[in-house]
Amino acid sequence: MKVGVPKETKNHEYRVGLTPASIQELVTAGHEVFVEAGAGLGAGFSDEEYVRVGAVIIENASELFATSDMIVKVKEPSPKERAMLRSDQVLFTYLHLAPDRPQTADLVESGAVCIAYETVTSPSGALPLLAPMSEVAGRLAPQVGATALQKAQGGRGVLLGGVPGVLPAKVVILGGGVSGSHAATIALGMGADVTVLDRSSDALKRLEARFEGRLKTLHATRATIEDQVQQSDLVIGAVLVPGATAPRLVTRAMLGTMQKGSVLVDISIDQGGCFETSKPTTHDDPTYVLGGIVHYCVANMPGAVARTSTLALNNATLPFVLALATKGWRRACFEDRHLMAGLNVVRNQVTCEPVAHAQNLKFVPAERLVA
C-alpha cells in the first residue's frame, strides 16, 4: 500500500503521523511511504532521517494526497485537505466529529474511509489510541493552569503549591479517567489541594487506591460540582463520552460564583468542551477572560510537546497502521472489531452512532459495510 504522511496544518501543531522508526516497519513489510517535506521537523525528525529508512519525500500536500492510498495524520483534516480526499482512500487520524458538522459533511461527501483514533477500542473497553494523548493533555493541564493563575496572565496571582504558612491552590478535576488521573498526578506533585469528581464509584475507588488518600474524591452531582467550582482556583475539565459531544458540566451561571481570576482548563474541547463558556483557542492565543474567569481551551494541547506526543502516539497506532496497510481496511476491520469501532465515515455513510446522534444524521452500522 502507498501510505502518505502530510505536514500538519493546525496552529502550532508540530506532531507528525509517523516517525522514521514506524516508517521503517512499513517499508520492511513491503509498503511504500511518502512524507511531505518538513512534516517531521517540529517533532525533531529531519527529511534525511525519513529518506534513510526508505521514505520518499514529496514537496507538497496535493501531490502526496494524490499519490497515497492511505493518509496517516494526527489532527483532523483541514477544509483544504478534506477537498483532496478521494473515494475509497483511507484516512487514519483523530477526527472528533461529534461537534463538527462541516467536517462530517465533507468527509461524507468525499467517499473516503475515515477511521478515528479516538473511537478505536481495546478488549477491555478502553480507548488505546486516545489514551496516550489524554495522558499528555492531563499532565499538561496543571502546568498551563498554573501559568494562567499568574497575575500577569490575568489570573488570581496564586501559586499552585503555596508556600509554608500559605495554603496551596484548590484544584478541582472533573473526570477521573485517563486525563483526569494524570492531571491529578501532576497537580499533587506541584503541591496543590486536589479534588476529583466522577460519576463512577469504581473510578473513585481506583483513584483512592492509586493515590493512597493524597487526594479527595467526590461523586459528581450537580450540587457537588457547583460547590467545588465555587471553591476552586483551578478547574480542569477532563470528561469524555467516547465519540460523542462532551456534556456541559459547568454552566455560565456557575462562573458568577467563582473568585475572579480563577482558571478553567478544558481538556474536553476537542469534543465540544465541558464548560458552557468554552470555545476553542490556539497555542498562539491560548486564553480568554469571560466573566472574570480565565479560560484555557487549546484544541491540540499535546502539540506543545510534539516529540513526546509523537513517540507516544506512534507506540499505539503503529500496529493498526500495519494491519490496515497489509490487509486493506475492509479485511483489517473485519478481523478486528476493535479497529472496526474506529470507522466513523465509510463511503458516504456515517458509521459512528454518537456522531450520527449528535448531528441528527442517518446511522449505518459499520458491520454492514465491512461485511
What confidence score (pLDDT) does residue 244 get?
A: 87
Region 67-83 average pLDDT:
98
How many whole angstroms separate alpha carbon 43 and alpha carbon 186?
Answer: 23
C-alpha cell at 152: 500577569
Using 50, 70 and 90 to split pLDDT, how confident is the model at 88? confident
Which pLDDT does position 361 carry in this prediction?
Answer: 97
Which residues have C-beta within 8 Å of that of residue 147, sequence separation ≥ 6?
Answer: 153
C-alpha cell at 37: 517535506
The answer, yes or no, to whether residue 338 has pLDDT greater than 90, is yes
98-124 per-position pLDDT tens digit? 999 999 999 999 999 999 999 999 999
CA 120 to chain centre: 13
* Distance of alpha carbon 227 from alpha carbon 132, whole angstroms: 31
Which pTM does this prediction carry?
0.90
Q: What is the residue-averaged pLDDT of the chain? A: 97
CA dihedral angle for residue 119, residue 122, residue 124, residue 128, rounded to 10 degrees: -70
**Confidence at residue 19, expressed as pLDDT on a 0 to 100 scale:** 98
Any idea which residues carry the catalytic annotation? 96, 270
Mean pLDDT of the region 298-316: 96
Work out whether strand 287-290 and strand 263-266 pair parallel, antiparallel, or are unpaired.
unpaired
Mean pLDDT of 35-62: 98
271-362-317-71 Cα dihedral, nearest 10 degrees: -100
Predicted local distance difference test score (pLDDT) of residue 2: 98
C-alpha separations of 67 from 58, 63, 80, 93, 181 in Å? 10, 6, 16, 18, 42
